[in-house]
A and B are shown apart, each in its own frame.
Chain A
Amino acid sequence: AQSVTQLGSHVSVSEGALVLLRCNYSSSVPPYLFWYVQYPNQGLQLLLKYTTGATLVKGINGFEAEFKKSETSFHLTKPSAHMSDAAEYFCAVVKTGRRALTFGSGTRLQVQP
């Protein structure tokens, strides 16, 4: 079955520091991978997705993620954290042809001034 594991339920960084949120997937075939963000009291919105092609994917708000098949990882990064990045981040996976996403347990990002 398709699944994702997010390492670290809470991550705290200083403003201006590198953001690294980890996601590993388990799949017998190359999956499609996604990162969604949830701001307080809101629904989720898409940050970026990997389907095929270039393994380095750029998303909104300066975030990017790299698909590494050898490591079964899809970690999310941002070079310099901003206070507005404080939110909960979800990695998600879907198998080609499937209809719905499977989400990880989420990582709450805190940005310290």
Chain B
Amino acid sequence: NAGVTQTPKFRVLKTGQSMTLLCAQDMNHEYMYWYRQDPGMGLRLIHYSVGEGTTAKGEVPDGYNVSRLKKQNFLLGLESAAPSQTSVYFCASSSSGADTGELFFGEGSRLTVL
């Protein structure tokens, strides 16, 4: 069972470079989420999607863009990386809204911006 798969798992960028994180889920879930985890701050929601072709902003969306062209994939893009975006990024999916459904998480992608 693959569940939620994130690629890449590790990446080092220079300030100003761009990159895309890919999240793929094989559970046919409608909802997908991108969170970032920083020490002492828990997980903060960047963007989320309630279905194919939809996206919405979370708590900390600035500097990120997302796309959900296929139901199983949710892409997180950084157009011009900044050191403040050094973090561990987690993707999650759920069959229904977060109030009723369990979130299933990937193993995380560690990004360092120099």
Q: Across the two chains, which residue of chain B brings its CB closest to A45?
A: B105
Q: Is the CB of B97 within 8 A of A101?
A: no
Q: Across the two chains, which residue of chain A brings its CB closest to B43?
A: A103
> From residue 23 to 69 of chain A, which have CB atoms closer than 8 A to chain B?
32, 36, 41-46, 49, 51
Taking a contact as CB atoms closer than 8 A, the residue among A51, A96, A105 that contacts B42 in the complex is A105
Provide the residues of chain A in CB contact with B98, threshold 8 Å: 94, 98-101
Q: Which among A42, A96, A101 has the greatest number of chain B C-beta atoms within 10 A?
A: A101
Q: Is the CB of A103 within 8 A of B42?
A: yes
B74 within 8 A of A: no
A residues touching B (Cβ–Cβ < 8 Å)? 6, 9, 32, 36, 41-46, 49, 51, 90, 94-106
Provide the residues of chain B in CB contact with A49, threshold 8 Å: 102
- B29 CB to nearest A CB, Å: 13
Assembly CA distance A102 to B42 (angstroms): 9
Q: Is the CB of B41 within 8 A of A105?
A: yes
- B108 CB to nearest A CB, Å: 6
Provide the residues of chain A in CB contact with B45, threshold 8 Å: 100-102
Q: Is the CB of B40 within 8 A of A9?
A: yes
14 cross-chain CB contacts under 8 A: A9-B40, A43-B90, A43-B107, A44-B90, A44-B105, A46-B103, A51-B100, A94-B98, A98-B97, A100-B45, A100-B48, A104-B42, A105-B41, A106-B42
